[in-house]
A and B are shown apart, each in its own frame.
Chain A
Amino acid sequence: MSESFTGRVWILGNDIDTDIIIPTDYLALNTVKEMAPFGFSPLRPELASLIKEGDIIVAGSNFGCGSSREQAPEVVKALGIKAVIADSFARIFFRNAINNGLLLIECPGLSQIVKEGDEITVVPGNHITYEDKDYPIASLPENLMEILKAGGLVSAMRARNGLTD
């Protein structure tokens, strides 16, 4: 998780809720892969088809608010998003994302600075670079880093149960 990476940015606003990320209607689909094309459809129907592997979402405050559906971070990950950077995250979404190995970074104000389509470089636990300027970011608490390092909660529990991946 600690290696730096560079990606193209998609800008989203405040309070991007889980009904926007994946509407209830599509939760009955069999797999997250089938749901992914409908990601963000109430807000930007074209977005899911434009996102490429390694892209980064930069959003405002309270990203992932609303329901507890874990399909939300899974859809974001399935779309190829490398990390979501936001002013702040909703509590359940935050836990779900970590448990599924999706990197979340709090960086208040960045969504007001970066332009959609531009590239940023992320050094996890340290800073984000945009147009030659660095924006500091915090590292995650130790217990969450352990889950991320294990590759998510499933892997962590498998290890606990004496199974290897």
Chain B
Amino acid sequence: MGQTIIEKIIAHNIGVKSVKPGDIVTVNVDRVMLDDIMIAFVNKKFEEMGFSKVWDPEKIVLIYDHFVPASQVDDTRAYKAGDDFVDKYNIKNIHRSDGICHQLMTEAGYVKPGDIVFGTDSHTTTYGCVGAFSTGIGYTEMAGILGTGQLWVKVPSTIKVTINGNLPEGVYSKDVILRIIGDLTAAGATYQALEFCGDTIENMSIASRMTISNMAIEAGAKCALFTPDSKTAEYCDITLNEFQMNLVGDEDAVYAKELVYKAEDFVPNMACPSQVDAIKPVSELKGTKIDQVFIGSCTNGRLEDLQAAAAVLKNKTICPYVKLIITPASRKIYKAALADGTLEILSKAGAMITHPGCGLCCGRAGGILTDEEVVVSTNNRNFLGRMGTSKVKIYLASPATAAMCAIKGEI
């Protein structure tokens, strides 16, 4: 019988011919990602468990991003905890101000197609963009992996999403995933894997695929997988091996559900306050007054996102009462956007350009809002209180849509 991508990855990892949904298996972990928010808690649990050394210092990546730069005095405690952990256990990979964890994990080459990766952040699903099984876990489980290199998982069933055709002008992968989350609902893919295929997906850049895998968790998914191709190989700077080339859903694989879309049917979408699955076409929200626009995050803070915003904002000026905050996802992206003139266009239009990192997306600094204020944002969550007080209204959109809103002062 045929297999889905996630079944192939898990079977390969544990050295068996096949697995089926519902099987509970123990996998060998290829890489883990720890962030600044969780490191102190992971370390505490690790020591409580009685471990004296980590299973493999090379396979552990520690990234400071949520608290960088510190916005409250207490934040610096996370750096101290992280630095102590690195020294004590001889951890090889640490990033203190290079950007958002989910950008760096693939950008810096820590994740390869077919890998199994766990991280202490829910958007760890992002690495599915290169065909890796990656998902978020809590700090106690992470502590267990640090000691053993293993974790139990239940093999998920798979929802197959096929998209063929050409996306209309002004429609991006963000609009695609918002629509899919709306169709599936916020819990619609809970415990399940999403698998994306079709020529629309094949034609997407890795950056665009990342936006989709990043937001898969907003439908509850365990992971979101894309078949590795020549773009993946180039992005990861590898030659795909036989196993990696075979990471495609078999024709006779069994799927829990199949969704089929025509790319031409997609429109610019927004997730409305305060649920990620409250999706409406932008055309239905026209005229809604806004106070701020945020373009950034691990969802949409990449070079092509900044370029899409710059294409809209070139030779234009933003609305006088709107604050436009732009946060590149990593230092590498920041430098590239500086070199190609993108940041200059954005700055001339009236944008504030911040240091790379999580920025406003985690609601701790860099533009938090107050009651009744409205923000259009390119990140992944519009939950109550995510970007300031619980009465802030957050609309999620693509960078191009967000940039247009910044000019008009309304949706």
Q: How large is the interface on B (under 10, 10 to 19, 20 to 34, 35 or more residues)?
A: 35 or more
Docked CA distance A152–B49 (Å)? 11
**What is the distance, in angstroms, from A147's C-beta to the closest C-beta of chain B?**
9
Report the separation of the CA atoms of residues A25 and B390 in the bound assembly, to the nearest whole angstrom.
12
Q: Which of B51, B121, B190, B364 contacts A68 (CB 8 A)?
A: B121
Asked if A161 and B49 make an inter-chain contact with CB atoms under 8 angstroms apart, the answer reads yes
Bound together, the chains give a CA A147 to CA B351 distance in angstroms of 51
Contact of B187 among A24, A61, A71, A158 (CB under 8 A): A61
| B41 at interface, CB cutoff 8 A | yes
Task: A92 to B186: give the CA distance in the assembly, Å.
Answer: 14
Q: Known: A19-B385, A27-B37, A28-B74. Contact between A92 and B24, CB under 8 A? A: no
Report the separation of the CA atoms of residues A67 and B140 in the bound assembly, to the nearest whole angstrom.
Answer: 15
Q: How many A residues touch the partner, as a band?
A: 35 or more
Q: Does A111 contact B (CB under 8 A)?
A: no
Asked if B281 CB lies within 8 Å of chain A CBs, one says: no
Would A68 and B384 count as touching, CB distance under 8 A?
A: no
* B220/A19 in contact, CB under 8 A: no
Pairwise interchain contact B187-A15, C-beta atoms closer than 8 A: yes
B40 (CB) vs chain A CBs: closest residue: A30
Residues of A near B49 (CB, < 8 A) are 153-154, 157-158, 161
B15 at the interface (CB under 8 A from A): no
A23-B138 in contact (CB<8A) = no
Interface string of B381-396 (1 = CB under 8 A from A): 1011110001000000
Residues of B within 8 A of A61 (CB): 187
Q: What are 30 sample pairs from A and B whose C-beta atoms fall under 8 A apart?
A: A17-B383, A19-B381, A19-B384, A20-B384, A23-B363, A24-B66, A24-B364, A25-B363, A28-B74, A42-B384, A42-B390, A65-B187, A68-B119, A69-B37, A71-B41, A88-B190, A90-B220, A91-B191, A91-B220, A95-B137, A95-B141, A99-B141, A100-B140, A141-B24, A154-B49, A154-B143, A157-B50, A157-B147, A158-B48, A161-B51
The chain B residues found within 8 Å of chain A, CB to CB, are 24, 37-38, 41, 45, 48-51, 66-67, 72, 74-75, 77-78, 119-122, 124, 135-141, 143-144, 147-148, 152, 186-187, 190-191, 220, 222, 275, 362-364, 381, 383-386, 390
